[in-house]
Structure 1
Amino acid sequence: MSDVVVVNCTVVDGRAVDGVGPVADAAVLVRGERIALVGPREDVLRQADGATEIDLGGAYVTPGLVNMHTHLSLSLPGKGGESVKSLTSHELALYMADGARRTLHCGVTTVRCVAEKDHADFALRRAIEAGMATGPRIFTAGQALVCTGGHGHEGSDTLECDGTDGFRRGVRTQIKAGADLIKVMISGGIAGEHERIDTPQLFADEMAAVLATAHAWGRKVTAHAGPASVIGEAVELGLDCVEHGYQLTPEVAARMAERGTALVPTLLVTRCKEFFDELGVPEWMQCRSLGAGPRHLESYAMALAAGVEVLLGSDMPPFWDFEGTSATVRELEYMSEGGLGPARALHAGTLGPARWLGAEEDIGAVEAGRYADLVAMDADPLAATSAFRTIRWVMKGGRVVRDDRAGGGNRA
């Protein structure tokens, strides 16, 4: 790959919350897969002899987004979900590959998968890394761990376990397959017909076994969890991240902040009737989900007030066309509107996730040495998170994968 220099842009990233201001009239020099230099245009161009120039026409450039709650094989109750469940293994791989391509094109250059069917996520990750498929960088939990009959037990994206030995074996099974993290279901949720959101599903010794085993192998643990009592117990045991957190209390949120437990709030899942209707989701699930919406927002506000680290995750497929934009961008807008604000939302969608994943040397900022995972948009994301609706150019690892400029074409 020849050197590329991106010019005529303003560079903005999540370090704005730490006082690192935008670089106006900037340039980004890319060598191979990584950024070699970022700074004022004239300074960079002096070191860019022979580089291919890409003029972004005054766009704002940020790191690619990181979606921390992704299911590329999602199958909710209803007709849409049943059609995914009926796919053969070959069809499932192609379906997920198409979703990965669409995810990358909407500006999500990294995903954290938190329950995928049949370990197809590992094959997809290998294919993307080998250049045989187009998609984001994948960090994955493999199959989520559940108790017998627990949340999500109906699909092949979960593994049923019981007792401390069973959950230890479940953790090791995912790590053996190549998991970067562990996902465990510790309460009921909105998609389980025979449970409630506040149904506890693991005993303390089972949760402790998951955490001890995963941490011994250098893996973090994230938990699907709704009620404060269940979350509070897991936080005391060392939980690294909470998914959803529908029913937090100020006390539990404060303890999460003290212990460094992050929250991926997935605000979309309790305010997405249009999506549910599109998939034919049954009435019982719609009522439970949408009915949880007001309390969900209250919980999110409690987390922000307590200083909990919040991270972007849509739960809905990242690329899904929803309310005029992608599900990823709409989730980030909801997070911003719910009290986070544009600068912290940018951090929650880029550098925050990179740090949780232990990948901050590679992704999450527009900085020399990191991968050239970049998106360009027409509006300023520090002024309004809705700027991400105007994404028109995407680069991953130094390769342009989307280019909506006149004559730019789409290269992947």
Structure 2
Amino acid sequence: MVNRLLVDLSVVDVVSGDIRPNSAVAIVDGVIAAVGARDSVETQWGDLPAVSLGGAYLSPGLVNMHTHFSLSLPGPGGDAVSAMTAHELALYMADGARRTLLEGVTTVRCVAEKDHADFALRDAIAAGRTIGPRIFTAGRALVCTGGHGFEGTDTLECDGPVGFRHGVRSQLKAGADLIKVMISGGIAGEHEAIATPQLAADELEAVLETAHAWGKKVTAHAGPAPIILQAVELGLDCVEHGYQLTPEVAAAMAAQGTALVPTLVVTRASAFFDQLGVPAWMQQRSLGAGPQHVESYRMALDAGVTILMGSDMPPFWRFEGTSASVREIEHMSDFGLGPAAALKAATIDPAAWLGADAEVGSIEVGKRADLIAMDSDPLADSAALRGIRWVMIEGDLVRDDKNAVLDV
């Protein structure tokens, strides 16, 4: 961890939606010690080693709220991941975490990982034994017997209120930061439809009541409006995907404060599926869901639902000329959110959902120096994020395309 004075930059203020030109940022012990006009910051912190960013736009690091480092979709690509030994899987996930960080994602929320390897990865990153983003994880997602994703070791089959209470407690015992539950079918389930209901009301109530009693939030894989409405009325904290919303359900989500992670990229990801050898039935279901998925997303925007960025695809995956994370932000912007609000939905808003906004999500004094830099204004055009060339996490410089000297 190296103390620095960053100069020759414009600060991207994701809270106000403003750009602050001619700024400087002082970083001490991995924390932002000062941010403001260059002359003012240099007066107090001029003894720190100065690093020029060459006129770049400095933004908080991205936060991806729907991550699977051990993703294994149907097809040969997914089968290869499922067949990995425990040691192979740990190294595979660690490499994915490293690549994610280098793409500018400095915090992730894992929402179903195999064999609890995510806890070891989270702890190894925190201890500095490997590099990667800050991890918040749900451990294994909870499913009914035969439910969505039951085939893998990234889910835990439960039945009945008692079974689901035990499922929640087992993940909390392992160290989960939140709980993930599958309450409907989805794109990747061959013997189900997106609209297939999978939990009874008393089972879902047991999940929410138990997690909330322990101070943990719950997010749900969910597609259809009636199932989402029932969950929202019971106190669900977040919806993943939301393929088939209605205006009424979107309004209920906004009133309850239930956030939406739309994962728009997953219903327009044919090239990604081709790379993995995903079967035709899944590709057809994915692409077929795309138009209604966008309509549902726009309903959520109109209702004022809090939108959070999550890719579902591995965050680092190179896709359509950029990373999956940036492509998701572009979709969020293009389909109605706009670039400034899309960046906010990929920084401070997810940090707030995670309860981490006092530490990350914006460039403010006292927060961790999780920062990215690019040469164009991301508040004017989300495509600017394709030009990320500099990445720092907690004051450690892990990527600098113009200088080979890094901290790790």
Report the TM-score, using the length of structure 2 for normalisation: 0.99
Partner of 2:216 in structure 1?
219
| CA distance in structure 1 between the aligned counterparts of 2:13 and 2:84, rounded to whole angstroms | 40
Counterpart of 1:174 in structure 2 is 171
Q: CA deviation at 1:146?
A: 0.2
Amino acid at match of 1:212: E
SS of 1:22's equivalent in the other structure is: strand
Post-superposition offset of 1:408: 3.8
Question: Is the aligned partner of 1:76 residue 2:73?
Answer: yes
- 2:41 is matched with 44
1:274 to 2:271 alignment: yes
Are 1:138 and 2:96 counterparts? Answer: no
Residue 395 (structure 1) aligns with: 392
**In the alignment, what sits opposite 1:89?**
86
> 1:214-248 CA distances to partner (integer Å, 9 max, x unpaired)?
00000000000000000000000000000000000
- Structure 2: distance between partners of 1:199 and 1:345: 31
Q: Can you list the C-alpha shifts for 1:43-80, whole angstroms capped at 9, x where unaligned?
A: 11111143121100000000000000000000000000
Partner of 2:281: 284
Amino acid at match of 2:62: L
CA distance in 2: counterparts of 1:201 and 1:402, whole angstroms? 43
Distance 1:153 1:113 in 2: 17
Output the CA distance in 2 between the equivalents of 1:385 and 1:107: 14
2:204 alignment counterpart? 207
Gaps of 5+ in 2: none
1:329 matched to 2:345? The reply is no
Which residue in the other structure is 1:250 paired with?
A: 247
Q: For 1:105, which of 102, 105, 109 is the aligned residue?
A: 102
What SS is found at the alignment partner of 1:333?
Answer: helix
Q: 1:410 to 1:277 in 2, by over 3 A?
A: farther
The Cα offsets for residues 165-212 of structure 1, whole Å up to 9 and x where unpaired, read as: 000000000000110000000000000000000000000000000000
Q: Aligned with 1:276: secondary structure? A: helix
Q: Is the Cα–Cα contact under 8 Å of residues 63 and 309 in structure 2 kept in the other structure?
A: yes
Deviation track 1:269-312 (CA, whole Å, cap 9, x = no partner) reads 10000000000000010011110000000000000000000000
Instruction: State the 1:23 CA deviation.
Output: 1.4
Opposite residue 4 of structure 2, the aligned amino acid is: V
Q: Which amino acid aligns with 1:23?
A: R
Aligned to 1:152: 149
1:403–1:411 contact (8 Å) kept in structure 2 = no
> Given residue 266 of structure 1, which amino acid in structure 2 is its aligned partner?
T
**1:13 is the counterpart of 2:10:** no
Gaps of 5+ in 1: none
Question: Matches of 1:395 and 1:41 in 2, distance apart?
Answer: 20
Distance 2:308 2:405 in 1: 32
- Which of 157, 160, 164 is the aligned partner of 1:163? 160
Describe the SS at the equivalent of 1:339: helix
Corresponding residue SS for 1:179: coil
Which of 193, 196, 200 pairs up with 1:196?
193
Q: Secondary structure at the match of 2:366?
A: coil
Amino acid at match of 1:303: A
CA distance in 2, matches of 1:280, 1:147: 27
8 Å contact kept, 1:6–1:53: yes
Equivalences, count: 408
Code of the aligned partner of 1:12: V
Shift of 1:33: 1.3
**Could you tell me the TM-score, scaled by structure 1's length?**
0.98
Shift of the alpha carbon at 1:2? Answer: 4.3
User: Judging changes above 3 Å, is the alpha-carbon distance between structure 1 residues 43 and 408 closer, same or farther for their aligned structure 2 residues?
Assistant: farther
Give the equivalent residue in structure 2 for 1:29: 26
2:232 corresponds to which residue? 235
**Which runs of at least 4 in structure 1 moved beyond 2 Å after TM superposition?**
407-412
2:392 & 2:60 partners in 1: Cα distance?
9
Q: Determine if the alignment matches structure 1 residue 296 to structure 2 residue 293.
A: yes
SS in 2 for 1:176: helix
Q: Is the 8 A contact 1:404 1:410 kept in 2?
A: no
Match of 2:183 among 186, 205, 212: 186
Tell me which residue corresponds to 2:120: 123
Corresponding position: 1:353 with 2:337: no
Question: What is the CA-CA distance between 1:13 and the residue it aligns to?
Answer: 2.9
User: Tell me, what secondary structure is at the counterpart of 1:16?
Assistant: coil
- The structure 2 residue matched to 1:341, chosen from 320, 328, 338, is 338
Deviations 1:343-400 (A, max 9, x none): 1001100000000000010000000000000000010011101110010000000010
RMSD, matched Cα:
0.8
More moved, 374-383 vs 46-55: 46-55
- C-alpha separation in 2, matches of 1:68 and 1:2: 29
CA distance in 2, matches of 1:321, 1:144: 26
